[in-house]
Amino acid sequence: MKLKYAAIVIAALCASAHAAEEKPKANVQQQRIDKLNGKALGRVIYRGATLIDGTAAAPRADMAIIIQDDRIEAVLPAAHLTAQHTGGARVVDVSGQYLLPGLIDSHVHYATNPDRPYAEAELKRNIYGGVTGVRDMAGDARELAGLSRDALLNRIPSPDIFYASLVAGPSFFKDPRTVVAALGAQPGSVPWLYAVDDQTKLPLAVAQARGTGATGIKIYANLPGTLVRQLIAEARAQDFPVWTHMQVYPASPYDSLGATAVSHACMIARHVREAGKSAYGHGGEPSYEGLTADDPGIRQYIAALARSGTIMDATLSVYKSDGPHCHIDLAGDITRAMHKAGVKIIAGTDTDNTGDDPFPVVDHELEKLVKYAGLTPQEAIITATANAAQALGKQKEFGTLEAGKYANMVFLKQNPLQDIGNLRSVVLTVKRGHEFARADYKFTPLPVHED
């Protein structure tokens, strides 16, 4: 009996020693994988800032946010920090600063005409200006996949990039932009620029769009309403975000209802004034003289949009105060009415910033949402944080500052709720736990780029 007991003890000791040997090996292997992934490692506590969390909640002064590696572990009053919280952590005093979620520009184009140096310069300006995510609304997915990978692995200073694969009617692929975005291949026959018609196997079209690494599918132009509705239904069935112009032509704006998000607020004005337009194009716009958001046709659409739950990518940045196109005042008036009706708005720019501006173009979009659409600064911030994350289907990962989400956030010197322009008082951007101090950013004018 004693011999049997001794054997059991020896076996247990051997097993324990073996486990002790295996654990360090496992840790080393995980550390290697984390390093390859570019994952932020370590425990950091930012203490003392006023928290604007990306929701409608009132700001909270003297807060602390605890980051473990790339995620938020806890958000709590700084006075509640204990030695257990701070032990082994790097504690950063951010007293007097304002903390909000990292911003997301929901409408960019970085690879219509692939130009890596330009894209990297624009992305760098974004990350050092408080932008931690961008939604690229179609281009060369080969280039976008490479940029996205390098951003995720922290090989370039960049927001995370979430891009679209585009589908449109066959006639659209004569557009020269599609030729450039498919160089080496035939536009309309590649999965990121794919021609669809009533003979297309839609489940396959959506599946191959997903296979490019895209976050969503974009429905663009020259498709009938029936096909637009079928594409939306198929994308939703595959749990794949579907983004579209408000009007695809000859489909009407009503055919796009049910998409995750639609783009360009003033398209409803054009539909009201030019209901018979059959093909996509910017030329020959009708007169908008005397048109307001109170027009019965516009009111009817806004009510339907609100019922559908579809998000509005207003893109006020594309509308100017003069010229033949829809003016910014009308676009702002329509966006204001949408917001008042309960439609969620996201901040997409769809425009290049000037090469000599050291701050992101999304700052201007947020200013326009306040000035022309009547949003409060807090509501404008939500368009570029919580609402933007929802449009990406990533609301469980970021968009608000709460435990479990990625550590995507920006610290400001000045209060953006008093003046939305204070977004330019950036001190520090954090993306997935990686820090990008504004003081480290040496701005030079962006390279000349031709779309």
SS3 of 238, please? coil
Is residue 181 within 8 Å of 218, Cβ to Cβ?
Answer: no
pLDDT at 9: 44
Residue 359 has pLDDT above 50, yes or no: yes
Q: What is the pTM of this model?
A: 0.93
pLDDT band at 24 (very low <50, low <70, confident <90, very high): low
pLDDT tens digit string along 36-95? 888 999 999 999 999 999 999 999 999 999 999 999 999 999 999 999 999 999 999 999
Partner residues linked to 46 by β-bridges = 65, 92
Distance separating alpha carbons of residues 136 and 126, to the nearest angstrom: 13
pLDDT tens digit string along 201-213? 999 999 999 999 9
Going from the C-alpha of 50 to that of each of 77, 387, 399, 437, the distances in angstroms are 10, 21, 17, 18
pLDDT tens digit string along 410-430? 999 999 999 999 999 999 999
* CB count in 10 Å sphere of residue 295: 17
User: Structure tokens of 97?
Assistant: 């600063």
Distance separating alpha carbons of residues 268 and 252, to the nearest angstrom: 9
- Give, in degrees to the nearest 5, the angle at Cα 25 between 24 and 27: 60
User: Structure tokens of 43?
Assistant: 């425990």
